[in-house]
Amino acid sequence: MKKFILDATKDSLNEWAKDNGLPSFRAAQIYTWISKGIIDPDQMTNIPKDLKTRLSQDFDMNGMTVVTELRSKLDGTTKYVYKMSDGNIVETVVMRYKTGLSVCISSQAGCKMGCSFCASAKLGFGRNLTCGEMLGQVILSQKLMGEKIRTVVVMGIGEPFDNYDELLKFLSVANDPEGLGLGARHITVSTCGLIPKIKEFTELKSQVNLAISLHAPNDELRKELMPVASAYGISELIDACKEYVRKTGRRITFEYSLLDGVNDTLACADDLIRLLKGMNCHVNLIAANEFPGSPYRRSGKKRIEVFMNRLVSGGINATLRREMGTDIMAACGQLRRGMEENK
């Protein structure tokens, strides 16, 4: 099987150029084109015809195509559905903020983690995405929007730390000035709490932001919502987060989706205060997004307000995330994977 062109690194293109008796500046030209989202050789205007033919012979130049584009009438959020060459389909969401465009990308086709409030878990796991397929979501979305993407969040379908090696490759190219050229602080990775990988990530001392999908303040409730909690207890998870903050000097974010009558009580807020008090962290509250077949309802406005106020008065830095793209099923927890026939 041919390698997807976006999985070609600077080094591997140099190697390929050398093997084909080409000067290294040709590899640099190709890398510049693909970093700009131009993966059709015919559009690579400074490349000779025979080299375009050789590129197409040696690489998969159509590894990802957009099959659906949905734009929210509420806020302009855009959801792209991308099809990979093996038929797997993932979703990518572009949101507009005052600071510019932000893209939420998927790291896997499907997810093994099985969180009960998340649509992405419902269709099971397909496979890990390659670094090129993660880059492709940014590059192609940027091209389709006709505007530079300013921030990237790896919070779409999948658990990024379950695809750790490809994730690290992606972060390196995303951060490379000759790649996507995004500052590390403009990139956020979210995990449901795979502690060994949190520890590895801590040791990298990366400036990339880390977010933890917490969603419950104690083991009992967390196990109900997130199977991963049976493998990794909450106190060990919080210890790993404290270690991350201590070693990197970075603030950590906790994502907390509010489910009506489940995790939005004042007792839960108090447990959360006890858990996080004193840590350099931010709690991102999310009015849980409903999807067909979900057993949960979102918390009402009043309950959310009371919960948030309790956290803030308990000394926790907490805000409510602005909802985006709910009318096109593009909000947190609403993304789904598919195969070609499901689109």
Residue closer to ligand SF4 by CB (options 21, 292) is 292
Q: How many helices (H) and strands (E) does the chain have?
A: 11, 15
By annotation, the residues acting in catalysis are: 91, 332
Neighbours of 219 (CB within 10 A): 15
Shortest Cβ 35–ligand SF4 spacing (Å): 28
Residue closer to ligand SF4 by CB (options 121, 331) is 121
Residue closer to ligand SF4 by CB (options 77, 163) is 163
Rounded alpha-carbon distances, angstroms, from residue 256 to 158, 222, 284, 311 = 17, 11, 6, 12
Shortest Cβ 307–ligand SF4 spacing (Å): 20
Shortest Cβ 41–ligand SF4 spacing (Å): 35
* Interface positions with ligand SF4 (CB under 6 A): 111, 113-115, 118, 120-121, 157-159, 192, 213
Residue closer to ligand SF4 by CB (options 78, 107) is 107
260 phi and psi, to 5 degrees?
-55, 120
Shortest Cβ 104–ligand SF4 spacing (Å): 11
Helices (H), 119-261: 131-145, 164-175, 195-204, 219-225, 228-231, 234-248
Shortest Cβ 310–ligand SF4 spacing (Å): 24
Q: What ranges make up the beta strands (E) of the chain?
A: 3-4, 59-60, 64-71, 78-84, 88-97, 100-104, 108-110, 125-128, 149-154, 187-191, 209-213, 252-258, 281-287, 318-320, 338-339
339, 330, 342: which is closest to 105 by C-alpha? 330
Residue closer to ligand SF4 by CB (options 115, 288) is 115
Rounded alpha-carbon distances, angstroms, from residue 285 to 3, 100, 131, 281, 282 = 40, 22, 30, 13, 9
